[in-house]
C-alpha cells in the first residue's frame, strides 16, 4: 500500500491540487479567489499530462548519436507539447476572466459575490 503510494505520489499530489482548485471555485465568495481556484485546477491538469509524459532514465527527445534510435531512451514529447497549447488556452481564459472582473468591480464596486447578487437584484 505504502509502496503503491510512494510509486505514484505525484498523482496523489495532483489529485490534492485539483480538489483544492475545485474547493476554491465552489466555496470562496470572492471572485478573484474563484479565479485562482480555477487556475489551480488547470495547473493540476497540466501537471498530470507532464507527469504522464515523463520517463525514468530517459532524456530530451532530440536524437543523440550516442544513444541511437531506441525509443525507451527518450521521453514522449507529445504531452508536453499539448500542455503548451493548454497553457495558452488557460492564459487566455484567465485574461478574459480578469477583464470581466475589472469591469465587474467598476460596475458593482465590489468583488464579493453576495454583494454583487444583492446589487443585481435591485
Partner 1 sequence: MSAAPVLIIAPLLLFAFISILAGLWRTSLAYISAVVGGTLSLAAAVFGLFQVLTEGKLSYHLGGWPPPLGIEYVLDPLSAFMALIIVFVGLVVIVYPPKAGLYQVPQRAVPLHGMIMLLLAGLIGVVVTGDLFNLFVFLEIYSLSSYALIAIGGKHALVASFRYLMLGTVAGSFYLLGIGFIYFATGSLNMADVARLLPSLYASPAIIAAVALIFIGIGIKMALFPLHIWLPDAHSYAPSIIAAILASVQIEVAAYVLIRMLLSVFQLDYLRLQLPVMATVGWCGAAGIIFGSVMAIAQRDFKRMLAYSTIAQIGYIGVGIGLANPLGIIGALLHILNHAFMKGCLFLVAGGIRHETGLREIPWFVGLGRRMPLMMGAFAVAALSMVGIPPTAGFFSKWYLVRGSIEGGNWAFAVIIVASSLLTAVYFFRVIEKVFANPPPTSSTGTVQKCEPPPRILVPILILAVGVLVLGLSNAVIVTRVLEQVVAPLFSIAGGR
- Tell me the window of 1-9, 58-66, 67-75, 97-105 that interacts with partner 1 (CB under 8 A): 97-105
Q: Which is nearer to partner 1, 7 or 65 (CB)?
A: 7
Cβ distance 44 to 14 under 8 Å?
yes
Q: Which is nearer to partner 1, 63 or 65 (CB)?
A: 63
What would the 3-class secondary structure string for the chain be?
CHHHHHHCHHHHHHHHHHHHHHHHHHHCCEHHHHHHHHHHHHHHHHHHHHHHHCCCCCECCCCCCCCCCCHHHECCCHHHHHHHHHHHHHHHHHHHHHHHHHHHHHHHCCCEHHHHHHHHCC
The answer to the question of residue 86 lying near partner 1 (CB under 8 A) is yes
Q: Which is nearer to partner 1, 5 or 100 (CB)?
A: 100
- Tell me the window of 2-10, 61-69, 78-86 that interacts with partner 1 (CB under 8 A): 78-86
Name the minimum Å distance from CB 108 to partner 1.
7
Q: Which is nearer to partner 1, 61 or 86 (CB)?
A: 86
The answer to the question of residue 120 lying near partner 1 (CB under 8 A) is yes
The answer to the question of residue 85 lying near partner 1 (CB under 8 A) is yes
The answer to the question of residue 58 lying near partner 1 (CB under 8 A) is no
Q: Which three cell numbers stand for residue 28?
A: 470562496
Amino acid at each position: 500500500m505504502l509502496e503503491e503510494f510512494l510509486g505514484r505520489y505525484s498523482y496523489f499530489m495532483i489529485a490534492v491540487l485539483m480538489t483544492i482548485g475545485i474547493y476554491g471555485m465552489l466555496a470562496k465568495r470572492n471572485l478573484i479567489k474563484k479565479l485562482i481556484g480555477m487556475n489551480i485546477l488547470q495547473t493540476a491538469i497540466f501537471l498530470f499530462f507532464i507527469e504522464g509524459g515523463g520517463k525514468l532514465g530517459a532524456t530530451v527527445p532530440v536524437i543523440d548519436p550516442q544513444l541511437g534510435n531506441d525509443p525507451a531512451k527518450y521521453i514522449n514529447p507529445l504531452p508536453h507539447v499539448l500542455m503548451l497549447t493548454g497553457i495558452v488556452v488557460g492564459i487566455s481564459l484567465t485574461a478574459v476572466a480578469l477583464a470581466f472582473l475589472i469591469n465587474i468591480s467598476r460596475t458593482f464596486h465590489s468583488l464579493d459575490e453576495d454583494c454583487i447578487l444583492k446589487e443585481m437584484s435591485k
